[in-house]
Structure 1
Amino acid sequence: MGFDTALARLNGLGAAALALLPGLLLGLLAFGLFVLLARGLRAGVVRAARARGVAPGVGIVLGRIGSGFCLLLGGLVAAAIAFPSINAADLFSVLGIGGVAIGFAFRDILQNALAGILILLTRPFRIGDQVVAGGYEGTVEDIQVRATTIRTYDNRRAVIPNTALFTDKVLVNTAFEKRRLSVRVGVGNGDDIREAKRVIEAAARGAEGVLADPPPRALVAGLGDSAVLLDVFFWIDPPKRSEVLEVTDRVLARVKPALSGAGIDIPYPTMQVLLHDQTEAIDGDRARQREGWPARGGDRDPPPRWRVREGEEDRPSHPNGAAGRAS
C-alpha cells in the first residue's frame, strides 16, 4: 500500500512537471526576448545621447538603468507565463515588500546610484577630466552607477563612491581651457627688484608652452631670511598634468641662467651663530649677562670665573656673594 501511494505521488509530480514545462519554456523564451530588448534599449539610449551631444557617461548610465528596468519587467512577465496561478497583483505586492527590504539592505548602494545619476545630469566633471577628490588626483576613467573610477598619475585605479563625490569637494583641473601656474624664486637682498622682475618675466615669456596672453608676471611675495621671494605667474593651454610639469620645467630652466647672466644672485640660506664665553663671572646674573653675544674683548670683559695657575685653582666669589665651585 505504501509503495503504491509513493508511486502515485511520483506520477502526480511528473504529470504536474510536464504540465508546467510548456509554461516554463514560454517564460524562458519571453525572458530571452526581454534580454535582447534590454541590450537594444541600452545601445539605443547611448546612440541617442551621442546624437544629442550629451556626455558619453550620461548615455551609458541611462542605458544601464533602462536595461535594468527592462530585465525586471521581463522577469515579472516570465514568472506570470511560467506560473499562471500567480496573478499580477501578487507579483507587485511581493515586489513592493521586496523593494522595501532591498531598500533597507542596500541603502548605501541606492544612495550612490542616485548620486551617480545627479553627477551625470549636473556634470560637475566629465570622463577624461583631471580631478582631485578624496585625497586622490588623476583622470576620470568611468562614471558608473555606484562609483567613479579615477586613474592616478602613478597608474593606479581609485574607486570613489558617488555619494562622496557629490557631497564632498572636488577640484577639476581641466574644467577650463587655460590654467595659471606659479613658481617661487628668491633673489639677493642687495639686487634690484625691478631688474629681477624684468629678467624673470622675459625668461618665462620665451619658454615653450607659456601663453603670451595673459603675459607672465613676477610679483614680490615676501622677504625671506636670506632672499627676496618672487612669485612667477604664467598661463598654459591645455591645462593637463603633463603640460604643468613640462612647462614648469622649461620656465625654471630658463629663469635660472637668465638671472645668473644678469648678475642677479640666487642666494643660499644662511645662518649667523653668536657664541659667548660661558665661564664669565657674570654668568647666572640675568640682569648683566649678555646672552648670545661674544665677549667684547679688552679690559671691558668680565674676568673668567675660574683661573688655573700652575695647577692651583683660584676661586673668586660669585657676583651675588656666594663662593664659586670647582668645575
Structure 2
Amino acid sequence: MSASPVPLLTRLQTTFDGLVAALPNVMIALVVLLVFMLLSRLALNGVRSVAQRAGQTPGVALVFGRLASWLITTLGVLVALTIIFPTLTAASLFSALGVSGVAIGFAFKDIFQNLLAGLLILVTRPFRIGDQIVSGEHEGTVEDIQVRATLLRTYDNRRVVIPNGELYTNRVVVNTAFDRRRLAVQVGIGYGDDIDGARALILEALDANPEILADPAPTVLVRSLADFSVNLEVRFWIDPPIRREAVESEDRVLQALKETLVAAGVDLPLPTQQVLFHDQTEETDGDRRRQREGWPAGKGASPRPARLLKEQVAPEEGRGGPADGSAPERRDA
C-alpha cells in the first residue's frame, strides 16, 4: 500500500500560505525595529550629551547612553514580535517576562548587584580613575571602573579585579582624594636629652627639605615614654600625596633626622636591660619572705652585703677531695 503525498503537500501549502500572509506583518515589524534602532542611536548621543553637560565624566556619560540605547532596542524587539505574532499580546508578553525576570534575577543576583553598584560608583564618584585606594588587603592605583568590576593595579605591578558590590558596601580609603597628605615618623631620644632642643633640631632638618610643605607647618609631639627612650612623633605634609612620594619622603626625612641628631650629640638609644644577680643585692635574697625582687637597697638602707662563697678543696693526694668522701669544707671568701 503506497503512502499518499496529499497530506504532506497540503501541509506545505498551508505553511506557504501562512508565510505569504505574514509577509506584510514581517515587513512592518522590520520597519518598526529599524525605527527603534534609530531612536536608540539618537538616545545614546542625547543621553551622553546631557550627562556631559551635567558635569559627568565621558565614561559615565557613555554608560548611561548605552543603557538608554539598550532599553529602546529591547522595546523595539518586543513591539516587532507583537506585530509578527498577533496572538502574542502585550499583557501575555510582559507576564512571561515577569516570571522569567524573577528566575533570572535569582540566578544572576550577584551580577545585577555589581552592575547596580558600578552605576552608583560612576555617578557618586567616591574615587576616580588614577586614584590610589586601599580596599581590604589590596592597595594600588585605579586603572578602570567598569560596570561589573573595578581594575586595581598594585604597586608591585599586579592587577586586582574587585567586584563593584564589594567596593560600594565596604570601606575604601582614598589616599589621593585631596591634594595634600600628612605623614608621620617616630624617633626616640634618650631620657637625658633635652626634648625642646631635639624638637628644634628636627624642625630645622625638616625646613631644609624642599619636599616638606611649610603650610601646614611640621610638628613634633612627645608620644610616649617608652622603656628605654622618649618617643617623638614627627608630622609633616607632602604634595602630591601619591604612594611613591610618601615612601621617598619618609626615607629622606628619617635619614636627615638620624644625621642631624647624631651630629648634635642627641642619643638614639637602643633597647637595654639590666640583670642583677642575688649576690649583687642584699643578703636577704633567696628568702621569699624578705626578698626585694633583686633590686638594690635604697639610700639609707644598710643591709650587710651578701658574700660570694667558694669551695676550698683540701690538698690531699693531688687534686682530689677529702679521702673519706665527705663534702668539701666551705669558708667565707
Displacement after TM superposition at 1:232 (Å): 0.6
1:176 aligns with 2:163: no
SS at match of 2:227: coil
Distance 1:21 1:273 in 2: 103
The aligned amino acid for 1:125 is F
The aligned amino acid for 1:113 is L
Match of 2:61 among 54, 59, 62: 59
Distance 2:65 2:11 in 1: 48
Specify whether residues 85 and 12 from structure 1 end up closer, same or farther in structure 2 by C-alpha distance, changes over 3 A only. same
Match of 1:301 among 303, 307, 331: 307
Could you say which residue in structure 2 is the equivalent of 1:238?
240
Match of 2:71 among 64, 69, 73: 69
Could you say which residue in structure 2 is the equivalent of 1:111?
113
The aligned amino acid for 1:120 is L
The aligned amino acid for 2:199 is K
Specify whether residues 21 and 291 from structure 1 end up closer, same or farther in structure 2 by C-alpha distance, changes over 3 A only. farther
Displacement after TM superposition at 1:245 (Å): 1.6
Specify whether residues 47 and 142 from structure 1 end up closer, same or farther in structure 2 by C-alpha distance, changes over 3 A only. farther
**Please, which runs of 5 or more residues in structure 2 have no aligned partner?**
297-303, 315-319, 329-333
Deviation digits for residues 17-40 of structure 1, max 9, x if unmatched?
Answer: 566577667656755665565455
Distance 2:222 2:183 in 1: 16
Could you say which residue in structure 1 is the equivalent of 2:154?
152
Could you say which residue in structure 1 is the equivalent of 2:331?
none
Could you say which residue in structure 1 is the equivalent of 2:126?
124
SS at match of 2:267: coil
Could you say which residue in structure 2 is the equivalent of 1:210?
212
Structure 1 contact 130–138 (Cα < 8 Å) conserved: yes
Displacement after TM superposition at 1:153 (Å): 1.9
Specify whether residues 299 and 139 from structure 1 end up closer, same or farther in structure 2 by C-alpha distance, changes over 3 A only. closer
Could you say which residue in structure 1 is the equivalent of 2:202?
200
Poorly superposed stretches of 4+, deviation over 6 Å: 288-294
Could you say which residue in structure 2 is the equivalent of 1:50?
52
Count how many residue pairs are aligned between Structure 1 and Structure 2: 309
Match of 2:264 among 262, 265, 280: 262
Q: CA RMSD in A?
A: 3.5
Distance 1:54 1:48 in 2: 9
Displacement after TM superposition at 1:146 (Å): 2.7
Deviation digits for residues 198-256 of structure 1, max 9, x if unmatched?
Answer: 11111112213211011111111112333221111001122221221222222223222
Specify whether residues 235 and 264 from structure 1 end up closer, same or farther in structure 2 by C-alpha distance, changes over 3 A only. same
Deviation digits for residues 65-87 of structure 1, max 9, x if unmatched?
Answer: 22331332232134234434423
Bigger mean CA deviation after superposition, 173-182 or 6-15: 6-15
Bigger mean CA deviation after superposition, 50-59 or 200-209: 50-59
Specify whether residues 287 and 127 from structure 1 end up closer, same or farther in structure 2 by C-alpha distance, changes over 3 A only. same
Could you say which residue in structure 1 is the equivalent of 2:274?
272
**Please, which runs of 5 or more residues in structure 1 have no aligned partner?**
317-327
Displacement after TM superposition at 1:103 (Å): 1.9
* Percent identity of paired positions between Structure 1 and Structure 2: 53
Specify whether residues 78 and 302 from structure 1 end up closer, same or farther in structure 2 by C-alpha distance, changes over 3 A only. same
Distance 2:242 2:134 in 1: 13
SS at match of 1:300: coil
The aligned amino acid for 1:301 is R
SS at match of 1:246: helix
Distance 1:63 1:314 in 2: 105
1:182-193 equivalences in 2 (<5 Å):
182-193=184-195
Could you say which residue in structure 1 is the equivalent of 2:91?
89
Specify whether residues 274 and 113 from structure 1 end up closer, same or farther in structure 2 by C-alpha distance, changes over 3 A only. same
Displacement after TM superposition at 1:98 (Å): 1.8
Distance 1:274 1:56 in 2: 73
The aligned amino acid for 2:173 is L
SS at match of 2:66: helix
The aligned amino acid for 1:250 is R
Distance 2:286 2:35 in 1: 98
The aligned amino acid for 1:169 is R
Distance 2:252 2:32 in 1: 65
Specify whether residues 216 and 123 from structure 1 end up closer, same or farther in structure 2 by C-alpha distance, changes over 3 A only. same
